[in-house]
Amino acid sequence: MDKPKSLRTLFLTFLKVGTFTLGGGYAMLPLLQKEFVDKLGWLSEEDFIDMLALVQSVPGAMVVNLAIGLGHTLFGFRGALVALAGATMSSLVMLTVIGLFFYEVKDKLSAVEHAFRGINPAVTGMVLASAVGMMARVNKSAISGAIFIITVLVVAYFKLSPIYIIIGAAAAGVLLTRVKEGGHA
């Protein structure tokens, strides 16, 4: 059922994600996951999560980084450019217009603000569902569970930047395998 890979579909998919998701990077994850993993079948769940790990270790906007990373993995550098263009096109057009005519549209924004009282909790539920879905599909071991819990606690209490979590978890992965292999030898 996988759709054939084409730059056109890549562009349109990111355009769709950039146009229809509100509330920043994490709000876009559920839709990106649905499109690339479930609908198009271009990536496995693991590929998607692995790319997300890279994205978290790089500065800048998450969706921009994800677009470049996924585009590059699928089609090389031109894929990165096409995905980036798709992900940013709507923002560019819409915010340029708002930026230029800001004082004319300013009053109309209060209706939008009202809509967001409903959008924000709905997006929260979606992001939580996405996290639970990811956890359900990673390999189930005591170590995975421990890493999950430790990360949640550390980020919640110490507000640690994701990059340290990424470096720490990668180091733990390498060290644990070394310990295991040492045990076998």
Partner 1 sequence: MLNTLISLYLTFLKIGTFAFGGGLAVLAMIEKEVVINQGWLTKSQYTELVSISEMTPGPIAINSATFVGAQIAGIPGAIAATAGVVSMSLLLMSVLAKLLMRYQKIPQVQSAFTCLRPAVAALVMCAGISMGMGTITELLPALLCAVSFVLVSHYKVNPILIILGGAVAGLTLM
- Binders of partner 1 among residues 88 to 117 (CB under 8 A) are 88, 90-92, 94-96, 98-100, 102, 106, 109, 111-117
Tell me which residues in 69-88 interact with partner 1 (CB under 8 A): 69-70, 72-73, 77, 80-81, 84, 87-88
For position 41 contacting partner 1 by CB under 8 A, the verdict is no
For position 121 contacting partner 1 by CB under 8 A, the verdict is yes
For position 127 contacting partner 1 by CB under 8 A, the verdict is yes
Cα torsion 24, 26, 27, 28: sign: positive
State the nearest-atom distance from the C-beta of 46 to partner 1, in Å: 7
Tell me which residues in 134-153 interact with partner 1 (CB under 8 A): 134-135, 138-139, 143-145, 147-149, 151-152
For position 123 contacting partner 1 by CB under 8 A, the verdict is yes
Number of residues this chain uses to bind partner 1 (CB under 8 A): 108
Contact at 8 Å (CB) between 73 and 51? yes
Residue position matching structure tokens 């990811």:
134
State the nearest-atom distance from the C-beta of 166 to partner 1, in Å: 7
Amino acid identity for residue 95 in this structure: L
Q: How far apart are CA 95 and CA 100, in angstroms?
A: 8
Contact at 8 Å (CB) between 30 and 101? no
Token pair in block for residue 106: 């300013």
For position 13 contacting partner 1 by CB under 8 A, the verdict is no
Q: How far apart are CA 110 and CA 163, in angstroms?
A: 36
Contact at 8 Å (CB) between 36 and 70? yes
